[in-house]
Structure 1
């Protein structure tokens, strides 16, 4: 089948732009850096989730390595029993002062009783497990205080146990064959990964490409080839399309690769096709802005400074709604592309209004594209 002349001309320009991009060593380095960013981001969230979740620490057996110091007088007491129930390792010393000498080295915390029977806690706040240890010791102290109050009220051991443990709660898991293969079963992990890391990672190729794409026009000016480009037998629309296609295609391929990487890291991403559609229009806007800026300035340095300011502003607009919980603004936030990406990524079920939420992004991308073409046409008219 014979390819129309117009398409052949666009493809020829696109191939030329592709070669320029692939010969740019910085761009190749940027792609490799993204892999380390993804691994590091997921890893840091996983570590933070485990370090802040007592249940996860118990599950992987980390809390058994957390050492707590107590005076020998508490050995066998109800307080020590409650601390053992928290799966903490107890170390007994002749005195509290002796235990404190190892606080911050071997011990994370030292527990004692005051003369009035109150639980005293000394904890090393520089330890990464400080918050978890505090939570566990507070739970043990609450049980101890309740136990003491009930016994002081004249109740026997059986009555105390009945009040403190009124219900035996057991979780029965069903449909485990349909369970989502998530890396960590942690609310914090899910919230941070899907609420920030996933949209950030998928948009990362377009953020980084926006700086690279500025070279597509301003680079031509610096190399004194811009006038040659203006004299080519291509319409302004054809030139802009030819310049946008390569970087947009490379960025979409990267985002698709990062979706596969996230799935391998057990962060399942649903509705990848619709996500790519959203990314296509967002990428069209980012790259269009990059080309538009590069036509308004005369040097790569100016273009990179301008696009950096645009990206800072775009980051604020795109990511702040992910952290703001407001019923007043929620209706408007639904139209923010990153919020839409989160909704698509977390569930296989697609809401009917999804395409409506995409409409502002589509319109904005189209307007930026038209504005870029008009600016290029104006530049062409002045120079020729």
Structure 2
């Protein structure tokens, strides 16, 4: 079967662009850097989740490494028992003053009783586990104060224990065969990973794509080869398509690879096919903006400055809604692509309204791309 001449010309230009991209060591280095960004981001969120969650610390066994200082006269007291229940290590000192010398070194906190019987806690706020330690001490102190109050009312220890533990909670897990193999069972981990890291990682290749487009066009201007390209028997559409095919393809391949990598890191992405479709149209928009900028500037330095400003603005528009909770603007936020990406990624079920919210993004992205193609054709007419 004979391949149409038009398609042959487009593929020839696309192969040339693909070869230039793959020969660019900086581009390959940036791709490798993205892998480290993904692994590092997931790792950092996991560490932050564990460090801020007392339950996770207890499950992993890190709590026992948290050292709390107490004066020796509190050894065996009900306060020390409640602190031990928090699965932290207690260290006893002859006096509080001697314990202070170890605060910020061996000890994360010091707990003592004042002359009036009130609990006094000194916590090293520079320690990464400061929030967890504060929570554990607070829980222990609450039980201690409750016990004091109940005993002063004439209740014995058995009655105190009954009041402090009125219900034995037992969690029964169902549908475990359908359980998602998430890296960490933590609300904070889920919120940070899906609420920011996932959309950011999947859009990274397209941020890079817009930069490559400007370099492709402006670079040819600087090398004085752009005019030669315009003189070839290629229409404006053929030139644009030939240039963007490898850029868009490489970006999509990277995003798919990042989805697979996230799944290997036990951060599953639901609805990957629809996610790739959304990324495809957003890629057209980013590439379209890159082409538009490349037509307005005459040097790579100007192009890099302009695309940086555009990407900063795009980052603000795309990611600020992920951190803002507002009933007033929620109707607008529902149409933001990153918000829709989060909704697609976190649930296997696609809500019908999501498809409606997606339409403006797909249409606007396509219009941006078509508009830049028409502008490019006008730019070609001027140059010729």
TM-score bracket, normalised by the shorter chain, equals: over 0.9
Distance in 2, Cα, partners of 1:244 & 1:86: 58
What residue number does 2:361 align with? 361
What residue number does 1:258 align with? 258
What residue number does 2:316 align with? 316
What residue number does 1:51 align with? 51
Q: How many residues align?
A: 384
What residue number does 1:108 align with? 108
Shift of 1:47: 0.3
Distance in 2, Cα, partners of 1:241 & 1:89: 65
Distance in 2, Cα, partners of 1:366 & 1:165: 61
Distance in 1, Cα, partners of 2:369 & 2:65: 59
Q: Give yes or no for contact 1:70–1:96 (8 Å, CA) kept in 2.
A: yes
Shift of 1:43: 0.6
Q: Give yes or no for contact 1:244–1:288 (8 Å, CA) kept in 2.
A: no
Uncovered stretches (5+) of structure 1, i.e. residues with no partner: none
What residue number does 1:98 align with? 98
Distance in 2, Cα, partners of 1:132 & 1:342: 29
Question: What is the SS of the residue equivalent to 2:352?
Answer: coil
Shift of 1:19: 1.0
Deviating beyond 4 angstroms after TM superposition, the runs of 4 or more aligned structure 1 residues are none
Shift of 1:140: 0.3
Shift of 1:219: 0.8
Q: Give yes or no for contact 1:218–1:303 (8 Å, CA) kept in 2.
A: yes
Counterparts in 2 of 1:236-315, with a 5 A limit? Answer: 236-315=236-315
Shift of 1:326: 1.5
What residue number does 2:350 align with? 350
Q: Deviations over 1:174-231 (max 9, x none)?
A: 2222111000000000000000000000000111222122112111111111111111
Which sits farther off after the overlay, 155-164 or 338-347?
155-164
- The alignment's TM-score, normalised by the length of structure 2, stands at 0.98
Distance in 1, Cα, partners of 2:345 & 2:62: 31
Question: What is the SS of the residue equivalent to 2:128?
Answer: coil
Shift of 1:232: 1.4
Q: Give yes or no for contact 1:67–1:89 (8 Å, CA) kept in 2.
A: yes
What residue number does 1:120 align with? 120
Q: Give yes or no for contact 1:108–1:127 (8 Å, CA) kept in 2.
A: yes
- The alignment's TM-score, normalised by the length of structure 1, stands at 0.98
Q: Deviations over 1:294-353 (max 9, x none)?
A: 111100000010000000000000001111111222122111110111111111111122
Q: Give yes or no for contact 1:216–1:291 (8 Å, CA) kept in 2.
A: no
Question: What is the SS of the residue equivalent to 2:90?
Answer: strand
Which sits farther off after the overlay, 263-272 or 17-26?
17-26
What residue number does 2:137 align with? 137
Counterparts in 2 of 1:1-384, with a 5 A limit? Answer: 1-384=1-384
Distance in 2, Cα, partners of 1:16 & 1:246: 9
Question: What is the SS of the residue equivalent to 2:258?
Answer: helix
Distance in 2, Cα, partners of 1:176 & 1:371: 50
Distance in 2, Cα, partners of 1:271 & 1:72: 59
Uncovered stretches (5+) of structure 2, i.e. residues with no partner: none
Distance in 2, Cα, partners of 1:364 & 1:242: 22
Question: What is the SS of the residue equivalent to 1:69?
Answer: strand
Shift of 1:253: 0.1
Shift of 1:145: 0.4
Q: Deviations over 1:40-96 (max 9, x none)?
A: 100100000000000000000000111111111111111001000000111111111
Distance in 2, Cα, partners of 1:265 & 1:158: 48
Distance in 2, Cα, partners of 1:161 & 1:24: 69
Question: What is the SS of the residue equivalent to 2:267?
Answer: coil
Shift of 1:355: 2.5
Q: Give yes or no for contact 2:287–2:369 (8 Å, CA) kept in 1.
A: no
Q: Deviations over 1:124-182 (max 9, x none)?
A: 11111111000000000010001001111111112211111111111122222211100
Q: Give yes or no for contact 1:293–1:306 (8 Å, CA) kept in 2.
A: yes
Distance in 2, Cα, partners of 1:90 & 1:30: 48
Distance in 2, Cα, partners of 1:335 & 1:225: 41
Question: What is the SS of the residue equivalent to 2:234?
Answer: coil
Distance in 1, Cα, partners of 2:51 & 2:8: 57
